[in-house]
Structures are given as C-alpha cells and as structure tokens.
Amino acid sequence: MNKKDVDYRLYICTDSGLMTSATVEESVEAAVKGGAGVVQLREKNASTRELFELAGRVKAVTDRYNVPLLINDRIDIALAVGAAGVHLGQSDMPCDVARRILGEDSIIGITAATPELAVKAQAEGADYLGVGAMFVTSTKSDAKPNTRENLEKIRSLVDIPIVIIGGVKRSNVMTFAGMGIDGAAVISDIIGDPDPESAAREMRKILADF
C-alpha cells in the first residue's frame, strides 16, 4: 500500500492488558474485520524478543487484510519484521533521524500535543500526528487532557493527517466532528469490548460522517 493511501479514520492501538480476545492477533484481526485502517502494536511491557515475535504474528494478520502495521517506539522491531512504520513519542528517536533510518517509504507518526511540536514534526518529515490526550485515559496515566482550542490551532498550522488519541470512544468521538481531523486512535473502547469486531464496525460507522 502506498503510504499516501492510508486510511487513518479508525486507528487501533493494542494493549494486551485490556484485550478480551485470547491473543493480540485475534483482537487485531477482529478490529480490522470491523473496519480498522491502521494498527499500532503498543505493548509497553513486552521484552524485545517477545515484541519481535508478537510483531511477526500480528503482521501476518495485517498483511492478509492489506492494513499497515506500525510499531510503537521501536524502530529496530519495525525494521526486523518489515512493518509499515513506527509511531514515536517526544522522548523517542527524533523524526528526522528515524526517517534516515527507515527511508522515505515508511510511515512515521509523531505524538504532538502542542502547536509548536506539531509544526516541528511536520518539518522533520512526519507522515501524520497523534494529538491528545483528548480525554483522561487509563492507558497513559501521565497524559494531561488536551483542549479543543489547541487541536484547532494544530489543525490550522499543519497539512498532514491528524489522529486524535486518549480516551476516545464511540460515545465521545463526535465531539470533534467537523474540525478537519483525519481519524481517531482507539484502544479500550474496541479491544476491551467483548465483541471487538462489532465495536470497530460501530465506530467506523460513526466516523463515516467525521
């Protein structure tokens, strides 16, 4: 898939501690079948070997559905399994350095909570931004809620896709409709649902008018 054709509308992040399915791969497949267009493997507590092996299994699933797999933080794992790219936070490898390592065809997403960080990420070659946390979230307890005004400012300053993250659920995502946002990154509301495929399908339907 050409990275310019990526559908960011429904972006799923994994968290094995929240998943209701037996395996991460099963949760990912259910979410993708429900309409997820991007999958980020985000397993903070896995060892390097565990993450490498898991990434290979998850990539077999995402490849089957022609959905890009991004690895959170770990450029080495992304390279090792041939993932589509990475998502990097502000304490990870700088975007321009990651670009030199991964090449122009890889997808690089950057967490950018402020207009200044957003502009910098775009200038350094980011393909999309993750902006949040839009709500209080259990998956990142140190993240302070962002503001709608800040999101509007970021949108006005950058041209690349913006994906909102942080406590985003089916019940609140339409708060951001009409703001020019390209997608929503969802964790617990889909992978923590007893039926992640149906949850993803419902979220995808909500986002159809996003």
The CA–CA distances, whole Å, from 159 to 49, 102, 143 equal 37, 22, 25
Contact, 87 vs 107, CB < 8 A? no
Contact, 108 vs 127, CB < 8 A? yes
Strand residue runs (E) in 52-94: 69-72, 85-88
pLDDT digits (tens, 9 = 90+) for 81-118: 999 999 999 999 999 999 999 999 999 999 999 999 99
Which CATH number fits the domain that encloses residue 168?
A: 3.20.20.70
Counted domains in the chain: 1
Q: How many residues does the chain have?
A: 210
| Confidence category of residue 210, pLDDT binned at 50, 70, 90 | confident
pTM for this structure? 0.95
Percent of the chain with pLDDT over 70: 96
- Residue 67's domain comprises 3-207
Residue-level pLDDT at 1: 81
